[in-house]
Amino acid sequence: MLAKAVTTMVKRQLVLLSSSQVHGYELMQQPKPILIEFFKKNNVTEVIFVPYAKVNEDYDGYTKMMANAILSFELQTSVKGLHTFPDPVEAINQAHCIYIGGGNSFVLLKKLYDLNLVEVIRKRVLEDGIAYMGSSAGSNVATRSIQTTNDMPIIYPPTFDALNLVPFNINPHYFDADESSTHKGETREDRIKEFHLLNDVPVLGLREGTLLVVDDNRATLKGIVNARLFTRGESREYAPDSDLSFLLQQ
């Protein structure tokens, strides 16, 4: 009874994108209608962009690029880089919307821990109900752990445990094996199956062009292609507009 009660009380307003860039579209343009609806629903007038997944630390350039993409939504929404604030914790405590961009998930998570932001972001999103957007690495860190990222571990975070805004894992940029390829290494599916030999946590394979919209205890797949959900011993395809709310009940 207690677990159900806690689940009922959770506030979540999330958009988790496989990627901000999709083939055939300009930056952030494929999910643009969904993001506009998300911004309007949550009265987002300012976005705090977290650029820390950018390994070369061109945080100004990265923030400007994402700000220009969001400017195309024509919502008069401002974008400020978290790195420009003297006190990142205070900035997150005052934020109305957090957007964590893509890059390297290990670098990103380490930075979030170094700046004491993990628990702060989690509280702001799950208790205060502010809007959260993530793409690629930013979607990885929104989940239970970054263990199903595609990135190389070029730096050591103190733990793989992430923000845990949702109780499952994501594999962004998921793609199926090319049967005509001569490549003999492990496929993405092989890697996720290896993860499941040691971990019993669902993994949502988000192909580029897919995103998950979470509205409190409801999760809906959006996009232009299917996603693939892996659980221990099996997998299943889900089409856009599928209800994946059961994933929030882990």
20, 83, 105, 151: the active-site residue: 151
Q: Is-catalytic flag, 151?
A: yes
CB under 8 Å to 65, separation ≥6 — which residues? 27
**Beta bridge partner(s), residue 53:** none
105, 136, 139, 145: the active-site residue: 136
Q: Is-catalytic flag, 78?
A: no
User: Reduced to 3 states, what is the DSSP secondary structure of residue 128?
Assistant: coil
DSSP state of 243: B
96, 173, 235, 242: the active-site residue: 173
Question: Smallest Cα–Cα separation from 165: which of 103, 98, 90, 248?
Answer: 248
How many whole angstroms separate alpha carbon 149 and alpha carbon 138? 11
Tokens encoding 174: 């998921």
Q: For residue 241, how many other CB atoms are within 10 A of its CB?
A: 9
Q: Is-catalytic flag, 235?
A: no
Angle at 18 between CA 10 and CA 100, to 5 degrees: 60
Point out the residues that are catalytic. 136, 151, 173
